[in-house]
Amino acid sequence: MACNQFVMRVLFFLTLFICFSCSKEAELVFEYVDPLQKVFPESNYFPPQQAHADVARGEHASFQFVVRANTSIKNLRISVTAPKNGDYTLSDIKKGFVGFVRDSRTNSEPASDALTPVSGFYPDPILYQEKKDVAFGVTQPIWLTVTIPKTALTGLYKGNVTIEGTLGKDTFRKTQTFEVEVYKPVIDTTSLWISNWFYLGKLSHLNNNKEVEKHGDRYWELTRILARKMSEYRQNTAKVSPFEHTEFEFRDGKWSFDFSNYNKMVALFEEEGVIGRLEGGHLARRLVPGWSEPYGLFVPNLDSGNGEDMKTVPLDDAMVEEFYGQFLPAFEENLKVNGWLKGYIQHIADEPNSGNIESYKEITNFIRTLMPNITVIEATHEYRLEDQIDIWVPQMATLKHRLDFYKERMQNGDEVWYYTCQSPKGEFANRFIGLPLIKTRLLHWVNFKYDVTGYLHWGFNFWGSGINIANSDDPYDDTSGIVFHNGTVISGGDSWIVYPGDNEIFPSIRLEAMRDGIVDYELLKMYQKKFPEKAKEMVDRVVFNFELYDTNIDFFRAKRRQMLQELSRGEELKNGSY
């Protein structure tokens, strides 16, 4: 199989070489392609079409253009004339080149519409760089993101995007027009809870691969860059461990706690607009590796000489009651004093299941004796935890199989979110690089269809390898990974949805699609309030069920345009009024 793929790739590039060699004159293609359509290095057919986006106020308009030539392009540059509507200009525009990455490991349950480019390279990072050389035979996507202010004048805006560079011995300059139709609805702070877990142990990737001292000045600078990017893409929940940024000291039989760095971390994310909710990292984990192994609680490792290191011990360990009996009341008081307690939600232990459910219950009951009013959130496949969990976060496949149970929990006052990770695979929507981009956007149409009010994912920026996970050390190389202890493949794109730069973070086209899907959720809520039957019909014709979607891009655009047009009739609507 691998040999056949190699032969196909050789033949493909040989054909390109022969075809291009037959043309004596340098030729260049510059066309618009819908941003929900993934463009591969070898893509070569781009029928002319008008670059047009229909948007609400307060969201973003994305555009994708492609450049392809029969010879190499040197110093390809992009310039934009901001779109105008009368005297009003949409001036906040980001422009970049879409980079290509690999997804080299085989998905054991591929979707029927999985994308398999001959080159083996997939478009994903959006790189904000001034110029780029484009190799012979490569199609280069260009990405524009236009910010639509909440106060923007409604109506049609027109702008231009121009490319310049050197083709062979000659310079060139080509221009395309693009349009933005701004409608009346306003998208403000979003109500759908979004949590992409972030990792601060990888900040060296943002620092020219130089180590970053924890809690040093550079650490806080880079953390703020990460928080700002999360906020920009409408993440409104930040997972911060109660332990990772707290210093512990044990003296004369008494614990003391310094929450200075913890408070600084939470305040930073709050200042950048990420925290609508503060999500507490796990208090427990499996005592030994293994899916069904029982849980133990984290306690400070006094033997390490570091006041931040933790170890895991069983619930009946003498240190547990001594430590938690002092830590949790002090931690709760710290939350209260800083005004964070009301929006605080706490993980106990990740993904409890039938094999370790009893240890989970025991630990949760113990925690509740010390923090009786704590709101517990958990990613879990297990349903027999009615008295333990307040915010249920089943994996999407579990949500499908036990949908009636989760509807019952919602009726009883619990919240229900859902999560995706390395699963589910197959026909389910997910954010894998190998899936059509519209399936990432439709994740939040699933939220709306099933009245599920949050979405969680573990990998915002898990660049490189970690405990039990092997990933490429270069995020721009292979985006797939593997779990050490059981060989489970981590599909490309699961570990990260952003890319590191020097002192900056680049988004991906998947993150753009996800943000657009979050806005879609808000528009659907507004549409539901005004036209409940139409809203249901619209969603049902796009998301038929958890494993069946209409992924026709033109149909999707038409439905969204219909929603914007009908919401624009009558008085101004702002999300949150539903």
The Cα 160–Cα 267 span in angstroms is: 41
Q: Taking the CB of residue 89, how many other CB atoms lie within 10 A of it?
A: 15
pLDDT value, residue 30: 98
Question: Is residue 278 a part of any domain in this protein?
Answer: no
Amino acid at 502: D
Q: Is the per-residue pLDDT at 9 higher than 70?
A: no
Amino acid at 545: N
Q: Domain residues for 163?
A: 2-186
For 332-374, list the strands marked E by DSSP: 344-346
Question: Is residue 85 a part of any domain in this protein?
Answer: yes
Question: Is residue 208 a part of any domain in this protein?
Answer: no
Residue-wise pLDDT tens digits, 94-152:
999 999 999 999 888 999 999 999 999 999 999 999 999 999 999 999 999 999 999 99
Question: Is residue 250 a part of any domain in this protein?
Answer: no
Structure tokens of 335?
């939350």
The Cα 111–Cα 433 span in angstroms is: 12
What average pLDDT does the segment 472-477 reach? Answer: 92
Question: Is residue 517 a part of any domain in this protein?
Answer: no
What average pLDDT does the segment 150-169 reach? Answer: 97
Q: Is the per-residue pLDDT at 14 higher than 70?
A: no
Q: Give the DSSP letter of residue 204.
A: G
Q: Is the per-residue pLDDT at 571 higher than 80?
A: no
What average pLDDT does the segment 555-574 reach? Answer: 90
Q: Is the per-residue pLDDT at 86 higher than 80?
A: yes
The Cα 292–Cα 51 span in angstroms is: 52
Domain total in the chain: 1
Peptide bond before residue 424 is cis, with ω within 30 degrees of 0: yes
Question: Is residue 263 a part of any domain in this protein?
Answer: no
- Over the chain, what is the mean pLDDT? 93
Q: Is the per-residue pLDDT at 20 higher than 50?
A: no
List the single range of 1-15, 17-31, 48-62, 192-206 with lowest mean pLDDT.
1-15
pLDDT value, residue 10: 46
Backbone angles phi, psi at 350, to 5 degrees: -75, 135
Residue 58 belongs to domain with CATH number: 2.60.40.10
Cβ atoms of 432 and 106 within 8 Å: the answer is no
Rg of the chain, C-alpha, whole Å = 25
Residue-wise pLDDT tens digits, 165-176:
999 899 999 999
pLDDT value, residue 6: 47
Residue-wise pLDDT tens digits, 294-351:
999 999 998 765 556 899 999 999 999 999 999 999 999 999 999 999 999 999 999 9
> Among 58, 71, 59, which residue's Cα sits nearest to residue 29?
71
Question: Is residue 355 a part of any domain in this protein?
Answer: no
Structure tokens of 144?
């524009």
Question: Is residue 226 a part of any domain in this protein?
Answer: no
**pLDDT class for 80, splitting at 50, 70, 90?**
very high
